[in-house]
Structure 1
Amino acid sequence: MKKRFFCSFLGAFSLLHLPSFGQAQKIPKQLDALVAAYAKAGQFNGTVLVAHHGKVIFTKGYGLANREWNQPNAADTKFRIGSLTKQFTAMLVMQLVEKGRLRLDGPVSDYLPNYPKPNGDKITLHHLLSHTSGIPNFAASAAREAASRLPTTPQAAVRGFSALPLEFEPGSTYRYSNSGYILLGAIIEQVTNKPYAQVLAENILQPLHMQDTGYDLPSTIIPKRAAGYEKTAAGVVNAPYLDMTGPYAAGSMYSTVGDLYQWEQALYTTQLLSEAGKAQMFKPFKNDHAYGWNTARLLMGADTVAVLRHAGVINGFRAFLLRAPKDHHLVVALDNESNDYTPKISTMLLRVLYNQPAVGPEPEPQPPKP
C-alpha cells in the first residue's frame, strides 16, 4: 500500500512505433497496440480505460483475472485499488467539512478525545489529508506487516501508531503516511456514528451509481473479482493474504475501470462537493500533494499539461488513475499481477491523446533467484 512515485525519461526507452494520430477512430487502435505491447512483454495484466474529452473511447482487459479458472480480465472485472481509496476518504472528509461537522484546522483531539496528547492537539485534519502530520507510516512497519493477515478494527489500528513519536513537527514537511488516512477513517466514523463503509456507500457510491465499487469486507462475495498475483523467480504465484480491515480508509476499496470513470466524471460537477470545496481538495501543498491526489505538470510536446494522479499498491494489485482536467482526459489502469508499470503505461496512453510519441516496454528485470 506504500506510495510509489514515477518518473519517465523518454531518452531512456525505445519508442514504440504506433500509427499516426490521424482521425479519432484510429486512436483506440493506437491505445490497444500500446497496451498490448506491455502485456506481451509481461508488464501488464489487467484492464485499462481511456476517456478523450470526457468520452470513453477505449476500454479492454488483458491477461487473466483468475489463472486457476482461466478467466480473462474484462471491462467489468473488479480489482482492489489500494491507495486510490484515499481520494474517496478525502472526499468524505470534505463533505463533512462543508456540512460543518469537521474543520480542516480542527485538531485530532477535537474528534477523538482519547488520542494521546500533546500530538492530538497539534495534528489537524489538514495535516492528515496532506501527509504532513508527522505520524509514522505504520502500514510500512514490521509490526504491521506481521499482523496484516489478522482482522483488526479502526480503534486497534489507531492504537498501533498513536503513541509513536512524531517523525517531524506537523506541517513542517511531507512524508506519505497511510496512518493519517486510517485516522481520518476513524474520525469519520466517530462524527457520523456509522461504519466507514456505510458512509462511503451513502455519500459517494450510491449517488454516483457505482454498483461495482465497495469496501472490501472480508465476508462479502464479490462477483467478477480478480485474484491477485505476484511474480517470483519460480513464476507467478498467489499474492500473500491480506485482511482488508487493515488498510481500511487508506486502501481497502475495490472497483472497476468503468466505475472509476463515473467517479472522475463527477469531479467536474458539484454533485458531491462545491466548487470551493473541490478547489481546496485539489490544491497542492508540500511535495505537490493535494488531498488524496498528487499534482504534476507533464510535458506534451511544446506544452505542459496539468494533471491529477495517484497510485494504488496492495498485495497482488497495482492501480493508477491519471486525469488531465482542462481537456477532460482520463486514463485508468488496474493490474492484478503486481506489475509496477501502471504509472508508465498510463502516462504513455495520455501521450497518445496529445499526439505525442509513446514509449514501449523495456525488457523486464528478472526476479532474483531464491
Structure 2
Amino acid sequence: MKKTLLHKHLGLAIIVILLTTSSAFAQTKATKIDALVQQYVANRQFNGSVLVAEHGQVIFKKGYGMANMEWNIPNAPDTKFRLGSITKQFTAMLIMQLVEKGKLKLDGKVTDYLPDYPKANGDKITIHHLLTHTSGIPNYTNFPKFFEMESRNPATPSEFLKKFADMPLDFEPGSKFSYSNSGYFLLGVLIEKVSGKSYANLLKENILTPLQLTDTGYDLFAPILPKRATGYEKQGSNYVNSPYLDMTIPYAAGSLYSTVEDLYRWDQALYTDKLLSASAKATMFTPFLDGYAYGWGVRKTKIGDLKDSLLVIEHTGGINGFNTIISRIPKDKQLVVLLNNTGGAPLGAIRKNILNILYNQPIEPPKKPITDLLRQSILSEPLAKSREKFNAWKTDKAYNVNEDDVNSLGYELMGNGKLPESINVFTLNVEAYPKSYNVYDSRGEAYMTAGNKAAAIQDYKKSVELNPRNTNGFDKLKELGETVEAPKEVAITVDATTLESYVGKYELAPSFAIAITRDGDKLFGQATGQPKFELFAESKTKFYLKVVDAQVTFESNDKGEVQQLILHQNGQNMPGKRVR
C-alpha cells in the first residue's frame, strides 16, 4: 500500500517538475523575444504588436509603442492594424469556398462569370491565373502618379475595374509571375458577382463569424472602430500621419484590418476543415510560379544551423503607414505575427530572429541606424566632428552605415533648404564609398543647386567616369555647359537558350529574392517588393541594370547548370542561391 502511494506521489512530482520546466523554458523564449523586439523599438525600427505561438500555443504577445501618438494610446495585442496584402489570403479563401460549392472553377475564364469584361483579356485569364499572380494584368498600384492622383478617390469595384480592364496584358497568362493587386481586385469583383453579396458581407458570413474573428473586418474610414491604430510614416527624425488612402481602392487586395490575436485564431483554423476541406486546402497551399500559392508565399527556409530546411507559409503586407507579416511553419505549428503602424519596419529580419529563438538558434542583433544620429551631428557640430563620429560608427559593429540611407539624409536636408549641411552629408558618403558613382552624382546635384558650378562639374565627371552608363550625369554636364559625350554602348547578344537557363528564383536572404524572367530576347529581374527591370548583357554571364548602378552575374556548376547569381551593388557582392 505504501509502495503504491509512493509511486503515486512520485508520478505527481514528476508531472509537476515537467510542467514547471516546460513553463520556464517557454518563459525563457518569451523573455528572449521581448528583449529582441525591445532592441528594434529602441532603434525606432518597430512600433506595433507581436504574437508568437509555439506548437500551436501562444507563448508571447505584446504591444510596443503607440497606436495613437497624438493621444499617447499604446499598442496592445487587441489593437487593430491595417493588414495590406495579408488581405489576399482571405480573398483566396473566399474563392476556394465558392469553388467547393461549385459556383466557380479554378480553370474558369473571367468572361465565364463577367460577360462584360473585355474578351481579348477575359477569355484568356483564369481564376487560377488571378490567384497566382500569373494573369499578366498590369498592377494598378504601379501606375504613374497612382498614389497622388487615384488613391484618395472613392470608387465602386465596377468603376475602378475599368482603370485596368482594357489595358494590354504584360505577358501571356500563365507564362510568368508578376505580383498584381489588380488580379486580386478582380477576384473581389468575381466574388461579389457569383455570390450576389458584397465582399465585406460574404467575408463576415463565411469566415469572420464562423471563426469568431470579432476584431477583423473591412477597414472603411467612416465607421467608429474602437482600438484602431493610426498609421504613421517617418519624416526626417519625426513621425507624421501617413497620407490618406480611400480603402475602397485596395479592396480585396488589401483593405482588411485585424489584430495579432485574431490572426492567431485564423492560423489555428487553417489546421482544421472548418472553412475548407483538406483537399481544397492542399490546392490552396500548393505553390505555382515563384513559390506563390493562392494568397500565400510557400517556400523552404534555413533556420540558423539546423540541418534541414523548414517549409514556411507566409505573406507580408504594406499600406500607407503600416507594414505586416504573418509567418507559419505547419510542421511544428509555429506562428509569428508582426503588425507595425509606422511603415518600413524590418519585419523580415525580426521574424527571422524570432524563428531562431523558437528553434534555439543564435540571433543576429539588430544594428542601430545612424541616420538620426548623423542628422543631429550635421545640424549642430562642425564637419570635422561629424566626420569623426561617422568614421567611428562605420567601424562599430553595433551600427548600420548604409550608403543609401546616408544619401537619403542628404536629399532630405537639401529639400529642407539646408544646402551646406546636405553637401557635408554627401561629402561623408563620398569619403565612405569613393568607388560609387551615385555619391558623386548626388553631391554634384547639391553643388549645382547651391550654384557651385565648378564643383558640380567635377563631381559629375567623376560620376560618369565610374559609371559610363550614368546618363543623368552626362545630361547634367551638358546642362552645365560641358561637352562630354556619353560612350556608345556595344550591343551584346545572348542566345535564347542561355537566357532561358537563367530563368528562375534566386534567394539572397530569407525574405529577399530576385526572380529572373525572359521575354523573347530580353531578360528581366524583379527583387522582392520592387518593380521589374530589364537586364542588359555585358557578357554572356554578366548583366547590368540601367535604373541603378547594379550588375548581376550568373554562375554555373561543373555540369553547366546555373546554380546561383551574384548581385553586385554598393561595393558588395551578394550571392543568391537558385531555389527554383
The bucket for the TM-score relative to the shorter chain is over 0.9
- What is the CA-CA distance between 1:344 and the residue it aligns to? 1.5
Once the two structures are TM-superposed, the CA of residue 235 in structure 1 deviates from its matched residue by: 1.6
Following superposition, which runs of at least 4 residues in structure 1 exceed 6 angstroms of deviation?
none
Q: Distance in 2 between matches of 1:287 and 1:93?
A: 21
Distance 1:57 1:23 in 2: 10
Q: Which amino acid aligns with 1:195?
A: S
Aligned to 1:11: none
Structure 2 unaligned blocks of 5 or more: 1-23, 372-407, 416-580
SS at 1:114 equivalent: coil
Aligned ranges for residues 1-370 of structure 1 at < 5 Å? 23-145=25-147, 146-233=149-236, 235-300=238-303, 301-364=306-369, 366=371, 368=409, 369=412, 370=415
Which digits, 9 at most, give the CA deviation of each residue in 1:93-112, with x for residues without a partner? Answer: 00000000000000000111
Contact residue 38 and residue 360 of structure 1 kept, 8 A? no
Q: In 1, distance between residues paired with 2:281 and 2:370?
A: 41
Give how far 1:143 is off.
Answer: 5.0
Q: How many residues are treated as equivalent by the alignment?
A: 350
The Cα shift of 1:182 comes to 0.2
- The one-letter code matched in structure 2 to 1:104 is L
Residue equivalent to 1:14: none
Which AA in structure 1 matches 2:123? D
Question: SS of the residue aligned with 1:345?
Answer: helix
* More helix, by proportion: 2
Q: Is the 8 A contact 1:63 1:72 kept in 2?
A: yes
Aligned partner letter, 2:366: P
Q: Is the 8 A contact 1:218 1:245 kept in 2?
A: no
**How far does residue 365 in structure 1 lie from its aligned partner after superposition?**
6.1
CA distance in 2, matches of 1:142, 1:208: 40
Secondary structure class of the residue paired with 1:310: strand
Shift in Å, 1:141: 1.1
Q: CA deviation at 1:25?
A: 2.4
TM-score, normalising length from structure 1?
0.93
> How far did 1:234 drift?
5.0
Following TM superposition, by how much is the alpha carbon of 1:142 offset from its aligned partner in structure 2, in angstroms? 2.2
Deviation at 1:206, TM superposition (A): 0.4
CA 1:365/1:117 → structure 2, altered by over 3 Å: closer, same or farther?
Answer: farther
| Partner secondary structure for residue 163 of structure 2 | helix
Q: What amino acid maps onto 2:330 in structure 1? A: P
The alignment's C-alpha RMSD in Å is 1.3
Q: Secondary structure at the match of 1:56?
A: strand
Deviation at 1:144, TM superposition (A): 3.0
Residue 98 of structure 1 aligns to which amino acid in structure 2?
Answer: E
Contact 1:157–1:182 (Cα < 8 Å) also in 2: no
Aligned equivalents of 2:25, 2:274: Cα separation in 1:
34
C-alpha distance in 2 between matches for 1:231 and 1:191? 42
Q: Distance in 2 between matches of 1:226 and 1:243?
A: 16
Partners of 1:212 and 1:48 in 2: how far apart?
Answer: 16
Partner amino acid, structure 2, of 1:220: P
Maintained 8 Å contact 2:26/2:59: no
Greater Rg, structure 1 or structure 2? Answer: 2
1:190-245: per-residue Cα shift (whole Å, max 9, x none)?
01111100000000000000000000123211100000000012521000000000
Distance 1:322 1:265 in 2: 13
Q: Secondary structure at the match of 1:109?
A: helix
Unaligned runs of 5+ in 1: 1-21
Change in 2 beyond 3 A, CA 1:172/1:360: same
